[in-house]
Amino acid sequence: MAEVGSPPARNTRPRNRRALITAAAAELFYRDGFDQVGMSDIAEAVGVGSSALYRHFAGKQQLLTHVVLDELHPFTEITADTGDVEQVVARLAAAALDHRQLGVLWQRESRRLPDERRDVLRAELREVARGLTRLAHAFQPGLDDADARFRAWCMFSVLTSPSYHQVQLSRREFEGLLGEMVVIIGHRPPHDLAPRPEAGPDQLERFAGRSSRRRLLLAAATRLFADAGYSKVTTEDVGAAAGIAGPSLYNYFASKQELLSAVITRGNAWLEVELERTLATKTDPAEALRALLRSYIRFAFDHGGFIDILVSEVGHLPAVERHRARQTQHSYVAEWVGLLCEARPELDPVRSRILVQAALTAANDMARTGPIRDARTVLRLGSALMLETPVEG
């Protein structure tokens, strides 16, 4: 495994060893994934023996919990400030870059934790959301509580969106761009929000009665991988959920990995078809972007399980397929970036990618975990993030 940072010399006892451990663990979990990192890898990155590591943390799950709490806590502290809104926004933008790993660590890696540890993290996240809700009210004192909470979660999505790409921009410009997007969310006119409806069947399962066994297995796998995580699901679980005897699954898929690959390929194919259809029918780049966002939001709301898997489970594919899936995602986003550069000639690809990723992250989060399921509002907000965010020349 490649080195992480510069570990201190062995047999030394730096006073900040606990902080060094959490920093090294955060980077390794972010880069390689929780399941692929052992305590010995973290110990090597810090330059200590494994026994020294266990004096600070009882195990990898406790360490991951501590890492995510460390990433979340600065946002709790900043949003507790009821002072100048402009200063709070600037501090949030700075924290977003100081803790750029947060989005992936929370959305992807904390899924590996047992419920009781995730509950600890959820409690801290709710505190951040309450603080961001106060910020939304500070922007517009007349907002109702549902609208303010919606804006709070959208602000959090924007602030964590840099976690999902490696685009580099000068620190000052990057902070400014993130801050401008938070301001746009805060200043949008009040929304007529629809409450989240009772959960219904995923679109992929609506015609299950007429589905082939292969489609039944794909629908069941999508739901189970999204709800429990790939690692915790067995092929027997998938077969049982699809009403198919366990061994019969292997008539359609050679392994659980092949099943995961089929789920991801299926979802990506839908997005690519919609992309081609939109590019073939829309000539104005801004109109094409809005149409793409509309179809993406509809897909995310109807197929939330696939979005969960795309965010959290791609790392479980074999290396070649993992690379192919990520290249497909990168190429898909690149089409959005190209359209945005055409719609806004003052933007370069770097700034366009940051804006596009923020809009997609907000759409993903609102479809999967947001308190409101109002596609029209998410569409208006996502369009504003891409097409209205001011940038420095």
pLDDT of residue 15: 67
Instruction: List, as one string, the DSSP characters of 265-278.
Output: HHHHHHHHHHHHHH
| Dist CA 324 CA 329 (whole Å) | 9
Say how many residues make up the chain.
Answer: 393
| Dist CA 152 CA 185 (whole Å) | 9
In the chain, % helix, strand, coil (3-state, to 5) comes to 75, 0, 25
| Dist CA 305 CA 126 (whole Å) | 23
| Dist CA 317 CA 319 (whole Å) | 6
Residue 166: DSSP 8-state: -
Helix (H, G, I), strand (E, B) or coil at 90: helix
Cα pseudo-dihedral 365, 61, 80, 154, rounded to 10: -10
| Dist CA 110 CA 216 (whole Å) | 28
| Dist CA 161 CA 181 (whole Å) | 11
pTM of the predicted model as reported, rounded to 2 decimal places? 0.86
pLDDT of residue 388: 94
Token pair in block for residue 283: 């000539």
| Dist CA 119 CA 114 (whole Å) | 9
pLDDT of residue 2: 41
pLDDT of residue 17: 86
DSSP bridge partners of 195: 372
pLDDT of residue 211: 52
What are the backbone angles phi and psi of residue 372, rounded to the nearest 5°?
-125, 140
Domains of the chain in sequence order: 1-57 (1.10.10.60), 81-187 (no CATH), 203-387 (1.10.357.10)
pLDDT of residue 121: 92
Strands (E), the chain: none
pLDDT of residue 232: 87
CA nearest to 221, candidates 302, 326, 111, 308:
308
pLDDT of residue 190: 86
| Dist CA 389 CA 377 (whole Å) | 17
Helix (H, G, I), strand (E, B) or coil at 8: coil
pLDDT of residue 199: 45
| Dist CA 311 CA 332 (whole Å) | 15
pLDDT in tens, the chain (393 residues): 444 555 555 555 566 888 999 999 999 999 998 988 999 999 999 988 888 888 899 899 999 999 999 999 999 999 998 789 999 999 999 999 999 999 999 988 888 888 899 899 999 999 999 999 999 999 999 999 989 999 999 999 999 999 999 999 999 999 999 999 999 999 998 875 555 544 444 444 443 444 588 888 999 999 999 888 888 899 999 999 988 876 788 889 999 999 999 999 988 998 999 999 998 998 899 999 999 999 999 988 888 888 889 888 998 899 899 899 999 999 999 999 999 999 999 999 999 999 999 999 999 988 877 666 678 888 999 999 999 999 875
